[in-house]
Amino acid sequence: MELIEALRTTGSVRRFTDRPVSDELLFAVLDDARFAPSGGNRQAWRVIVVHDPARRRTLRDLYLDAWYDYVAHVLAGLVPFSPLASDQDRATALAQRDAAVALGEPSGFAESLDQVPVMLVVCADLESLAATDRDLGRYQIAGGASVYPFVWNIILAAREHDLAGVMTTIALRKEPDVRAALGIPATYALASIVALGYPRKQPTRLTRRQVEEFTTVDTFDGSAFCGH
């Protein structure tokens, strides 16, 4: 697949066919994805391929519990888990929890996570991250720059093999339990669960904001950058 076509058509896919994905093919995807950039080229990622049905069900249950919290925020008209959310926002979302559970679907992605053809758990080595914003007194984001390009490379590499998927961070809400279920050391953080498979529907060109809507010149509130 041409690079530009891949960039413009690789969206999140959560519905897969029953066609299995071989370990050989998954290895090829990871073999390509490993060339992602990272701080100091330390490659601070660790991948767990989850085959065991019992562990998959455990992760599904943990994910689903966190998913209901996510949906509750949406029902309350809030951005889920926003770093700037107030205690009142969290209380408002909590009040919608029962409604969120009621909206669950047996065949939904969260409810059937254990059935995805490929389940990867990606962890970040905290001893290798250059978290340059750790002392700014605000929500930290910089450390993820050494891990999430690799996660996205997995999705892109999968497209080359007619696979598709999604990276999701919902399960981070339950990190201690995920850590216990998979034997993840304390020096590693949960970064993402990645689901892959053959898509029921091939991805198409995506809709996104125009460049002029998110790019300015010289200052944050400067004129829109139009490229001419």
Output the pLDDT for position 211.
93
Output the pLDDT for position 204.
78
Distance CA 63, CA 70 (A): 10
Alpha carbon 217 to its chain's center: 31
Number of domains in the chain: 1
pLDDT tens sequence across 73-132: 999 999 999 999 999 999 999 999 999 999 999 889 999 999 999 999 999 999 999 999
Question: What are the residues whose beta carbons fall under 8 Å from the beta carbon of 5, sequence distance 6 or more?
Answer: none
> Does any domain span residue 90?
yes
Output the pLDDT for position 7.
87
Q: Report whether pLDDT(202) > 90.
A: no
The arithmetic mean of pLDDT across residues 219-226, rounded, is: 94
> Does any domain span residue 114?
yes
Distance CA 58, CA 47 (A): 18
Which of 123, 169, 120, 175 has its CA nearest to residue 146?
123
pLDDT tens sequence across 22-38: 999 999 999 999 999 99
> Does any domain span residue 210?
no
At 131, which amino acid appears? A
Percent of the chain whose pLDDT exceeds 70: 100
Distance CA 185, CA 133 (A): 23
Q: Report whether pLDDT(1) > 80.
A: no
Q: List the CATH number of the domain containing 26.
A: 3.40.109.10
> Using 50, 70 and 90 to split pLDDT, how confident is the model at 17?
very high
> Does any domain span residue 187?
yes
> Does any domain span residue 227?
no
pLDDT tens sequence across 134-162: 999 999 999 999 999 999 999 999 999 99
Q: Supply the range of the domain harboring residue 38.
A: 3-202
> Using 50, 70 and 90 to split pLDDT, how confident is the model at 6?
confident
Which of 61, 66, 56 has its CA nearest to residue 173?
66
> Does any domain span residue 103?
yes
Distance CA 161, CA 46 (A): 22
Angle separating helix axes 53-75 and 87-94, nearest 10 degrees: 110
> Does any domain span residue 221?
no
> Does any domain span residue 220?
no
Least confident of 51-60, 109-118, 176-185, 205-214: 205-214
Which of 159, 218, 217 has its CA nearest to residue 226?
217
Q: What is the mean pLDDT of the chain?
A: 95
> Which pairs count as long-range contacts for 27-31, CB under 8 Å and 24+ apart, including other chains?
28/157, 28/161, 29/154, 29/157, 29/158, 29/161, 29/163, 29/196, 30/154, 30/157
pTM of the model: 0.94
